[in-house]
Chain A
Amino acid sequence: MADLRVNFAGIKAPNPFWLASAPPTNSGYQVQRAFEAGWGGAVWKTLGEPILNVSSRFAGTHFNGQRVVGFNNIELITDRPLEVNLQEIYETKKKFPNHAVIASLMVEPKQEKWHEIVKKVQDVGVDGFELNFGCPHGMAERGMGSASGQVPELVEKQTYWAKEAAKVPVIVKLTPNITDITATAYAAVQGGADAVSMINTINSLAGVDIDTWKTIPNVAGKGAHGGYCGPAVKPIALNMVAECARNPEINVPISGMGGVSTWKDAVEFMLMGAGSIQVCTAAMHHGFSIVEDMVDGLNNYLDDKGIESVAGLIGQSVEKYSDWGHLDLNYKVVARINNDVCINCNKCHIACEDTSHQCIDMLTSENGNAYLEVREEDCVGCNLCSIVCPVDGAISMVEIPNGEPMTWNQRQEAIKLPICNS
């Protein structure tokens, strides 16, 4: 049994799986149910001046019969008075003293507003704060959420104000609706953030109803952009976590989130530097009980790998993530088809023929059996065939020894002056 406990920027939790600040953490009832189900922590639904919500708030993106590959919402922060939330936070923390309860906060970018809310909330005994600089819809129109999270100076200032009043760790939650997330992450660090978390949701319009021509979701026939999350955003989130993790100037822990649905996703985020994992869509799709396999799967994975604690995972792949210019141009893989496993759907052939490098031939053997073969000399190792192949083990990408490494950067340097006599 591996040690799943985490100490994230000073916030302790029995495991790294935390519910993200979102509808699942709207009330004490929900958060307590989540802790009973096995979640290690919860970031309370964002506290601030109570708002008003619209009816019809969420939309799912479905793909090929699979529901919720993506999820869109236009719900705002808590619509309940601060005192009600604080009472429930207090009760929850009392019942679950060892679980992490983090309060998400959002107020106008004014020093006194931050001081006021931080002081009020920390009195009930939260383990930390998460500053919501990320929500892209609604609140942003009022200068909060992602509107302030897109401006590095505002991120820095507000972090600083929160830190002035906070006695517990402050996490800054960043918006992905920005060209370079390391800029705002760096601003948070400059403001004194104890940690950053990412990603919040991505600006989105889930769809348009092709019969009514109304947006999805629609409110009395009208729509407004929402925030996108769920499995589809995982690669975007993972990159942002990785970019921050490999940046030496962003030297604070990262809480990773964005499309985490299974323990495997969590392992990937941790390898790329996440010290805790936040989840929302998967819980909204399946209920709190999904955490059971996240915990169990992670535990078995660590045991299998002989790793004693989750701390042994965090950041292990960061050094493998670099700039394109540092990739070895001489590295060569080619596709190889295992005809014993291949079921002859020919998807690799047509994918390569129509959209890649025309190097998979459809052939017939002497005994009349159809088979596929890669002309390895023409294969550029793009992986497309192995991606579209429906059968595991039918196509493997095989490494071909190809001399000393040479990166683009090295090459550009070398060809400047081919004969350097110096």
Chain B
Amino acid sequence: MSSYAEFLEEKKKIDELYEKGYTITAVREDLSGAYLTFERSKLDLNDIEEKIELHILTADTRKYFSNLIIAQQKELI
């Protein structure tokens, strides 16, 4: 699989979580890549889990979520 396709797959997972109202609340990076913690506020909670962890492998996705974080920080400010 081309690395671009891998990126698209990972990006899709992140986008889906965002659509469901999740945001990235923590990033942990190590030799295996990046582990993102997604959370959404209790107000939006129906009956699904409120905390999800994603393991991100590709470099492009790691750039992508970093951009999302910066964008969300800008919004907050």
A contacting B, Cβ–Cβ less than 8 Å: yes
- Contacting pair A406 B70 (CB below 8 A): yes
- Contacting pair A419 B23 (CB below 8 A): yes
- Contacting pair A415 B2 (CB below 8 A): no
Given A406-B67, A415-B69, A421-B76, is A377 in contact with B27 using a C-beta cutoff of 8 Å?
A: no
CB neighbors of A among B9-57 (8 A): 23-27, 29
Q: Size range of the interface on A?
A: 20 to 34
Could you say which residues of chain A place their CB within 8 Å of the CB of B72? 418-419
- Nearest-neighbour CB distance to chain B for A211, whole angstroms, equals 48
- Contacting pair B76 A411 (CB below 8 A): no
Could you say which residues of chain A place their CB within 8 Å of the CB of B73? 414, 418-420
- Contacting pair B26 A418 (CB below 8 A): yes
Q: Does A56 contact B (CB under 8 A)?
A: no
Could you say which residues of chain B place their CB within 8 Å of the CB of A415? 27, 29, 66, 69
Q: Does A87 contact B (CB under 8 A)?
A: no
Q: Could you give, for residues 402-419 of chain A, a 1 whenever the CB lies within 8 Å of some chain B CB and a 0 otherwise? A: 011010001100111011
**A329–B67 Cα gap in the complex (Å)?**
10
The residue of chain A having its C-beta at the shortest distance from the C-beta of B39 within the complex is A419
Could you say which residues of chain A place their CB within 8 Å of the CB of B25? 418-419
The residue of chain A having its C-beta at the shortest distance from the C-beta of B2 within the complex is A378
Q: Size range of the interface on B?
A: 10 to 19
- Nearest-neighbour CB distance to chain B for A197, whole angstroms, equals 41
By secondary structure, the B interface counts as helix
Q: Could you give, for residues 348-374 of chain A, a 1 whenever the CB lies within 8 Å of some chain B CB and a 0 otherwise? A: 000000000111000000000000000
Q: Does A322 contact B (CB under 8 A)?
A: no
Interface centre among A403, A414, A416, by most B CB within 10 Å? A414
- Contacting pair A411 B66 (CB below 8 A): yes
- Contacting pair A406 B66 (CB below 8 A): yes
- Contacting pair A357 B3 (CB below 8 A): yes
- Nearest-neighbour CB distance to chain A for B33, whole angstroms, equals 13
Q: Does A330 contact B (CB under 8 A)?
A: yes
- Contacting pair A414 B69 (CB below 8 A): yes
Could you say which residues of chain A place their CB within 8 Å of the CB of B70? 404, 406, 410-411, 414
- Nearest-neighbour CB distance to chain A for B8, whole angstroms, equals 9
State the B residues within 8 Å of A (CB): 2-4, 23-27, 29, 63, 66-67, 69-70, 72-73, 76
7 contacts between A and B (CB under 8 A): A378-B3, A378-B4, A418-B23, A418-B24, A418-B26, A418-B27, A419-B73
- Given contact pairs A410-B70, A414-B70, a sample of 14 additional A-B residue pairs in the complex whose CB atoms are under 8 Å apart: A329-B66, A330-B63, A330-B67, A378-B2, A403-B67, A406-B67, A411-B66, A411-B70, A414-B66, A415-B29, A418-B69, A419-B72, A419-B73, A420-B76
